[in-house]
Amino acid sequence: MTLTATTSTTRTRRRPRRKSGWRGLLYIAPAMALVLVFFVAPVLFTVWMSLHKWPLLGAPTFNWGMNYVRMFHDAKFFAALGFTAYYTLIVTIAIFVVAFPLAIFVEKQRPLISAYRTVIFLPVVVGLASASLLWVWLANVDSGLFGPLFQMLGLTTGRINLLAKFDTAFLTICVMVVWKIAGFTMIILLTGLQAIPTELTEAARIDGARRWQRFRYLTLPLMRKTLALALILSVTGSILAFDQFYIMTSGGPQNKMISVVYYIFNQSFVSFNLGYGAALSIVLLAILVALSIVQLWLLRVRDEQP
């Protein structure tokens, strides 16, 4: 009798768990359906396209993955990949150099601090395409702002076209992106700074730790996860850069500012090599996933260390 009662009690305990498990699946079913329809299915279809010679008009033909073989002999693709890596490195460093001091500045309570945060964050609200068009006008030789301003300040002998040469065009785009994105990164870093207990900072100050020592040995280690999140978002956004190069320079001057996404766009919608463009997209997705996994793995290893 006791064994039977125990078995029935165990069964009655298991039933609610099964029901709650099915109920949980029902709750997440809409989100899973959205992910399947708008992410998994397009990715699978892109993989299928990458295995075909897929013209804009006409029936696609299976080419046994020759698009991936072609990729290894495409010097322009590797040039675009190298330029994207260079751009990602420069812009990511510049964003953090600007965003971190801003986050430290707005983290402390002072008069008009809410106004400062709002003003710094305002460029984030502007769309990247709109920001690119705005800076094209600012850099215009005849009706822009930068040319006459630099001439008035004595930085140039005359009005120069900032987008005509690679160095000045690249610098202009980098400054525009930092102006556009630094506020968003500042908000992410600000959340990490506000999560640090004030007791630790006060204890370090009482123990005689200087400002740089507190920043290096206290702030940075405690913000490791926040920094990883901001870094992943910045690197991913920089690798996927397209609008600023397409709108501000059209890949010039001398096609030296063609990013990977810009090159995929040209192959897919200018040359109409849709299959080859799909193969390039899959490789770019693999690069992004690999970079994210490496950054998260490094974070996990450091957390496991004693």
Task: Give backbone dihedrals phi and psi of 192, rounded to 5 degrees, phi first.
Answer: -65, -40
Q: Residues 235, 293: contact at Cβ < 8 Å?
A: no
Q: Give the Cα separation of 244 and 87 in Å (integer).
A: 12
Among candidate residues 260, 285, 291, 282, the one with its CA nearest the CA of residue 84 = 260
3-class DSSP state for residue 79? helix
Q: What residues contact 194, with CB distance under 8 A and at least 6 apart?
A: 107
299: which 2 tokens?
A: 């974070």
Q: What is the pLDDT of residue 85?
A: 95
What are 219's two structure tokens? 């702030």
Q: According to the CATH classification, is domain 76-304 in 3.40.47.10?
A: no
Q: Give whole-number Cα distances, 35 to 41, 146, 290, 296, in Å.
A: 8, 45, 20, 22
Residue environment code for 23-49, b if the CB has 16+ CB neighbours within 10 A, otherwise e: eeeeeeeeeeeeeeeeeeeeeeebeeb
Q: What is the reported pLDDT for 18?
A: 59
Q: Residue 179 corresponds to which tokens in the numbers above?
A: 């102006």
How far apart are alpha carbons 209 and 129 in whole angstroms? 46
In the prediction, which pLDDT does 146 show?
Answer: 86
CB-CB contact of 147 with 259 (8 Å): no
Q: Which amino acid is at 264?
A: I
Is the pTM value of this prediction over 0.75? yes
Q: Where are the domains of the chain?
A: 2-50, 76-304
Give per-10-residue mean pLDDT for the chain (306 aa).
48 55 82 90 92 85 89 93 95 95 88 88 93 92 82 81 90 95 94 86 83 83 86 92 93 89 94 92 93 77 46
Supply the pLDDT for residue 199: 85
For residue 20, the model assigns a pLDDT of 63
* Nearest partner of 288 among 260, 265, 264, 266, judged by Cα: 260
Distance CA 179, CA 126 (A): 11
